[in-house]
Structures are given as C-alpha cells and as structure tokens.
Structure 1
Amino acid sequence: MNQANSTLNYQQVSIQNIELGMYVVGIAQQTCANEIKQTGRVTSKSQIQELHRLGVRSVWIDPSRTRQAAAQPQAVARDGGQGSSDNGKDESRPKQEQRIRRLYQEAKSMQVKLFRNLKKGEPVQVAELEAIADDLVDCIFDNRDALFCLARIREKDSYLMEHSLNVGMLLANFGRFLELERPILRELTIGGLLHDTGKIMIPDAVLHKPAKLSDDEFTLMKSHVTHSIELLRDAKGITDIMMTVAACHHERLDGRGYPHGLAAERLYLYARMSTIVDVYDALTADRCYKPGMPATAAFRILLQGAGSQFDEDLVRKFIKCMGIHPVGSLVKLQSGKLAIVVERNELAPLQPKVKVIYSTIGQHHLEVKLLDLARAGANESIESAVDPKAYGIDLRRYLA
C-alpha cells in the first residue's frame, strides 16, 4: 500500500484532519476487522462522523482530485446509497442541482471533444475520460435521480454524443444495482462513452437518414462496431471490460447479432448488460427519424426479447434498477393531474417524488409543485404512465 500510494502521490490523513472536498481513495487504518470500502469526495461532516463511527482512524486521499467542496458534485457516501442530500441538512437542493448540471455539461463537452478529435484522426485518449467517469460514478451513488433527470433532456442533433454518455451512466447505474465493484463501474462508464466511436466512420447521409435504411445502408451501419474495435484495440488504457461494451452491444443470446454472431455461451455479464442498456436508451431517445417512446413501452420491448435477444434475468433486474416509473418519465395521477417523476422511492417504488405540472381535466398547465407520494397526506397515487407528446408537453421545460 505504501509503495503504491507513494507512486500515485496519495497522502495519509487522520480522521481528525479530513476536510470537505478531499477525495478518499481508501482506508489506511481502522479498528474493525472487516474492510470498509469508502471512496469518493467528502462533502459533509456526517460522512466524516460515519467513518469515525465505523472505526476508521486514517484514510488515503488523492490530492489531485481534492477540490473545494463548494465547487463539487455531491460526493459518494457508501451508506446504502443515501447521500447527505436526503436529509437536506448539509446543502440546499438548488446548490446540489447546480453542481450536477455542471458535471453533466462537463461530461457532454468531453464527449464532443472525444468525437471531434477522433474525426481528426487522433487516437483515443482513455486517460482524459477517467476523471469524468469517476465523477459520474460518484454522482450515481448519491444523486443519480437528479443526474438522470438531466439525461432526459435530449437533442435530436446530438444523439450520438448523448447516447454514448447515457449508455455509460446507465451501465454504471445498472452495475451499482448488481453490486459490482466500483473500479468496474468506472470501466463500464468509459466503455459506454466509447462504445459507438466507430460511427464517425459512417457517412452522415446514412447515420442521420430520416427514413428506413436500405439493406446496403444497414450493412454499412452495422460496420460501426468493427470500426469501434479497430479504433480502441491499440488505445492506451483500454481494458477488456471497455472493449466488451464496444464490441458486444449488438450481439444477441441467440447468435443472430453482429458483428460476430456470438451466442449465449460466449456472451458474459458485461456484454449482456450492454445490449440491454444500449437498446433501452435508443428506444427512449428522440431520433431524427422517430420520437422516443416512454420507458414503460421500452420495458415491454426488452421483455419481449428476453431469452432470445436479451438475458431474461438481467432484463428484469434492469427494470427493477430503473424503477417502474423511471426518473424523468411523465405519469398521470388519479386526480387527473400530470406529474414528472423526479426522485425514486426504493422502499415504495409506486410512490416516488413527482413534480405536478398539468391538469388533464382543465387542460392547462399548473404551478409546479413538488409532491412526495409516499408521505402521509399526499392523497395522490399514480394511475398510469403517459406520453408527453399526447399532451404537447415539453419535459425539457421542467427538467432543465
């Protein structure tokens, strides 16, 4: 540990000297027998108190990732996924949301830079993606609902960039649900960011065609996976997990996928996760040739393909991970009001927090009101999921 940390310039800090904004990469000393996995940026005193309660005496921090707490997204709190934002005591919600917006915009800018450099013929720079991937994983542990609300704001002309970013975040979120180790979540995130890089080799006329592709065009489109493999194969820092996400997200369990027609016995966990996540995000996104569908409709398609195209057990776990009514989706309440799901309730999946925005009875917009359906006295429940387009509602107006 000492030698490794010396190489990486990690510093050992006692529990009494931990400050907000420090980035914890590991436990240096502790009194309990079990290993405690605490990584992430410290943003509240309650996190430090929890470390102290668990017997931690000192930690390793990464000075290069330690920043002023006020300028950071909410840090990871390994306390069952409940961050300090839940109690509202450490910071106001608006400040947290501003930080998450900055992080999401930074990630989008990184994606734009990645594809621009690739088009110039420059090699993939995995190292440039590592910090943003770590921050996204951090945010998913504590503020994933707010992050995925932002991810619902899609631009048709930016589909390639936004799809890659969302696939990376969805993979990390799914991996977290499956209790995968944090380093794996980071690699899955980067794999998602890179999985469609080969599309830079596809002519725009085919890539953005607003009609059904011809057989020849579809064959050309499918070649993007092979191009991705070629672009990533020799890139410094590419791992097997990253390559699996890029190479296998269009494979199928029945062997009818592409580019290699791999069947179930050759498709392992990360490949199976990638196929589900890639299709889900593609189905729910607005494209140049079709509007995105509600999450519930996408779930039905995944279930229809379970066993042939997708791993059935993983499909059901993915749906559970996302929630019956995913964050950012529009629902109709029994009162006839429409509301946007903004925060899930893991203990009561049918009773999330929502923003009430519209009356279907009066057919008019309402003053936006935040409502926790799980609270006593809410006197509301979800009747069904609805398509925003059916009511002419632009979700971006409420999620931005």
Structure 2
Amino acid sequence: MKLHTPHPVIPVNQLQAGMYVIAIISQTGGMEIAQMGLVTTRQQIDDLVRRGVLTVRVDLARSKLAGIEQIISPGLATLSGSSQRTAGSANGEGRELKIRRLYQEARELQGKFIRQLKAGEPIDITPLAEVAEEMVDTMFTHGDAMLCLARIRAKDAYLMEHSMNVAILLANFGRYLGLERSVLKELTLGGLLHDVGKIMTPDEVLNKPGKLTDEEFTIMRQHVVHSYDILSQTPGITATMLEVAANHHERLDGTGYPSHLKGDQLSLHTRMSGIVDVYDAVTADRVYKQGMQPTQAFRILLKGADHHFDRGLVTKFIKCMGVYPVGTLVQLSNQRLAIVMQRNEQQPLKPVVKVIYHATQRHYLDVQWLDLAKSGVQESIESTVDPKEFGISLAHFV
C-alpha cells in the first residue's frame, strides 16, 4: 500500500460521523461483522466499540466529512493494513485470528465486487488491490497459516472460495519461484478475479451435478471470455491480471480454451495459473462430488505434464506445496490423526502437526502441537487420510 492511500486503516476511536467504512479490519472475539457504509451517528461508533472492533478501513472519497485527510492522523493513514493488524495483536488478537480477518475481508470485498458487477454499478478495484498486497505480505510472514485457510471451504460458496484459494496458491507458488513482489500482487489480484465471468453463466450449467453436455460445456467455456471482457474494461487491471483470467484454461498442446494457445504462446504466468486452477478445482468438495486429497491431485498434474502442463513447473509446484501440504490430515505411527500445520523444507517428511484424533479408538484427543523433526519425537507419518472417513471437520481445528 502506498502513502496517502484513499482507503486508510484507522483505530475505531478515530471514527467520526461522516466517514465511510468499507471493512472491519480487526476485532476481538469471534463474531464476524460485515458492517459497511456511512457513519451517521455516534451510536453506530459506540456499537462497533461494544462489539470489539479495533480497526476499520475508511474510504476517503465516499466520506462526507470536510477535511477528512487532515482529521485522520497522517501517521496512521499511511500505515499499511498489515501494520495495523500487527498493532491489533497487542489488543489480544492472535496471528491466526488476524489472518482469518484478512481472508474474511478479501471475501467481503470480492462479494461486493461481484454484486456491483451484477448491478451494473461503477467498479473500483482499489480495495481488492490493497487486500491482495496484504495477502502477499502475509504469505512471506505467515504463509503456512494462509495455505491452511485455503484448505477450508464451503460446498455452496465454490466460486468465491475457489478464487480466494487460487489467489493464495498463486502467491505461494510465485514466492517459491522468486518472482518480484509487484508481480505477486498482480498474480494474487488476478487470482481473486480470474473467474468473475462466471456471474454470466446460468446456474443450471454452473452447478450441474454430473457431466455437461457438449452444448452446456460450450456455454461454460464462455466464462473465460466474459471474464476478459469485464476485466479489460475495469480501471486498474494490468496485463498480468488479464492473462490469469483469460488463459488459465489454455494447455501446452493447444487443447485448452478459449484461444487454443500452444507451446511458447503460454507465458510463465499462464502456465502457473493452469496448474494452480486445476489443483484447487480437483481438491474442492462440491455439492455433487468429493474433493481429492492433495497427493491424488499431484498425480493428475504429473499425468498431464508435457501435454497439458509444464513438467518443470508441475515439479516445482509439488515441491512448493510439500509432500504433505498444509491442511492435510495424516495418520501417525501411533494411530493418532493430525493436521499438517507447518512445512519443513529441510525435512519434508517431518512437518509440524496438530494432533486431534485417535484413529483406532475413534475419539477426539486434547489438541497437541507436535514438531515431527524435533529431537526425541518418535512419531512419524504413515499415510494421508480423508477427513470424511472419520467425520472430521478440519474447519474446527485450523
């Protein structure tokens, strides 16, 4: 985020009537608040304070308060949202909660963007661009926690969940490949918006259980064209963002769509997007199908290497995700089940896990963090496990 941002993050006690709140950034407690709009009374501010709100993001342009730039402390107005979140942690907001807030904020802004598109309202991607930048920053400081959130999803919110996860996975992959942060931000925002054209796809096609007919598949493929048309007319969209949206279904051998690009016509960003999009799509639970485990998804990518996907990039993506990707449920050698929470690049077979369940006795355990690489730890990973086999909801534990 640059200096003099039009959307500064400020402490709730700096709010005044006439300011326009576009997002709740940090709060204590577990209640999610999606309150946005013009502040008109002191009571609204008191209500936010009572509900534990710590910081909010304000839209200067939509605020109706004379001299607002001077009223908001310059020091605070130029802090990035991630810096504000760090300050929020001193008020009892832990790392995981901060990252959940960021994820929630991105989803809310994504939803707002889609609602504006459907209503034919003017589009402003600035708030989403700022969140994309914070997502990239967080990927460098707490990447595993971000990846963990990308494993938790709702079957009935696939469009938004998938776009969020593609954004997170692209940021992670790009960081692994050593791309510039400015490029990572573009890839992340491209991921958040890459399927926006699906708002034009009829629901009966978009959510059809089972195989699409040839005619339905033709309609479905049009979402890429719609995404390109929408984004190419949106101020602030860059060539890289357009590339992610327009080309993530293109394949090396020319069998992709919509332009049947082939070989060298597929740039690095296009090749990355294709891999990440397929990985997230096949690991997702849908209303009509169960998602695969990450290891199965890796096999699909490897099977498609050379003709659909860039083999070198697939290999790097698998290395970047780890043998046991964050958020995977694994069975340990003592029959306990644990969730992979942090990768170990030096010893990939020995990540940090959170033990939650006993597989043979079929009951939950007191949650315990365990670093499998630590001296004296006897347990090792025997296999990956599908949480559905044991009726476990990972969302309760990450």
TM-score, normalised with respect to structure 1: 0.78
What is the deviation of 1:128? 2.5
Q: Is the 8 A contact 1:276 1:302 kept in 2?
A: yes
Q: Tell me which residue corresponds to 2:295.
A: 296
Matches within 5 A, 1:115-126: 115-126=114-125
Matches within 5 A, 1:68-147: 71-72=84-85, 95-147=94-146
What is the deviation of 1:287? 1.1
Q: Tell me which residue corresponds to 1:84.
A: none
Matches within 5 A, 1:310-325: 310-325=309-324
Structure 1 residues 242 and 151, CA gap change in structure 2 (3 angstroms): same
Q: Tell me which residue corresponds to 1:281.
A: 280
What is the deviation of 1:305? 0.4
Structure 1 residues 197 and 6, CA gap change in structure 2 (3 angstroms): closer
Distance 1:222 1:260 in 2: 11
Distance 1:74 1:231 in 2: 37
Match for 1:273: what amino acid? Answer: M
Match for 1:66: what amino acid? Answer: L
Q: Is the 8 A contact 1:209 1:288 kept in 2?
A: no
Q: Does residue 306 in structure 1 map to residue 295 in structure 2? A: no
Query: CA-atom RMSD, angstroms?
Result: 2.4
Q: Is the 8 A contact 1:73 1:100 kept in 2?
A: no
Match for 1:227: what amino acid? Answer: H
- Picking from 75, 79, 98, the partner of 1:66 is 79
What is the deviation of 1:336? 1.3
Q: Tell me which residue corresponds to 1:343.
A: 342
Match for 1:193: what amino acid? Answer: L
Matches within 5 A, 1:234-249: 234-249=233-248
Q: Tell me which residue corresponds to 1:13.
A: none
Distance 2:149 2:302 in 1: 26
Matches within 5 A, 1:175-190: 175-190=174-189
What is the deviation of 1:95? 1.2
Q: Tell me which residue corresponds to 1:206.
A: 205
Q: Which runs of 5+ in 1 are unaligned?
A: 10-60, 76-89
Q: Tell me which residue corresponds to 2:369.
A: 370
Distance 1:150 1:65 in 2: 28
Distance 1:74 1:311 in 2: 42
Q: Does residue 359 in structure 1 map to residue 366 in structure 2? A: no
Map Cα deviations across residues 81-108 of structure 1 (whole Å, 9 max, x no partner): xxxxxxxxx9899711111111111111
What is the deviation of 1:71? 4.4
Q: Tell me which residue corresponds to 1:55.
A: none
What is the deviation of 1:363? 2.0
Q: Is the 8 A contact 1:339 1:355 kept in 2?
A: yes
SS in 1 for 2:94: helix
SS in 2 for 1:339: strand
Q: Is the 8 A contact 2:146 2:168 kept in 1?
A: no
Q: Is the 8 A contact 2:251 2:261 kept in 1?
A: yes
Q: Tell me which residue corresponds to 1:328.
A: 327
What is the deviation of 1:118? 1.2
Structure 1 residues 160 and 8, CA gap change in structure 2 (3 angstroms): closer
Q: Tell me which residue corresponds to 1:80.
A: none
Q: Does residue 161 in structure 1 map to residue 174 in structure 2? A: no
Match for 2:331: what amino acid? Answer: K
Distance 2:241 2:81 in 1: 31
Map Cα deviations across residues 325-373 of structure 1 (whole Å, 9 max, x no partner): 0110111111111110011112211111101111122122211111110
Structure 1 residues 291 and 314, CA gap change in structure 2 (3 angstroms): same
What is the deviation of 1:64? 3.6
What is the deviation of 1:179? 0.3
Match for 2:85: what amino acid? Answer: Q
Match for 2:305: what amino acid? Answer: A
Could you list the structure 1 runs, at least 4 aligned residues long, displaced by more than 3 angstroms after superposition: 5-9, 61-65, 67-71, 90-94
SS in 2 for 1:223: helix
TM-score, normalised with respect to structure 2: 0.78
Determine what percentage of the aligned residue pairs are the same residue: 55
Structure 1 residues 235 and 215, CA gap change in structure 2 (3 angstroms): same
Distance 2:300 2:146 in 1: 25
Q: Tell me which residue corresponds to 2:253.
A: 254
SS in 1 for 2:357: strand
Stretch moving more, 383-392 or 317-326: 383-392
Distance 1:74 1:380 in 2: 38
Distance 1:396 1:303 in 2: 29
SS in 2 for 1:135: helix
Distance 1:181 1:328 in 2: 27
What is the deviation of 1:126? 2.5
SS in 2 for 1:368: strand
SS in 1 for 2:397: helix
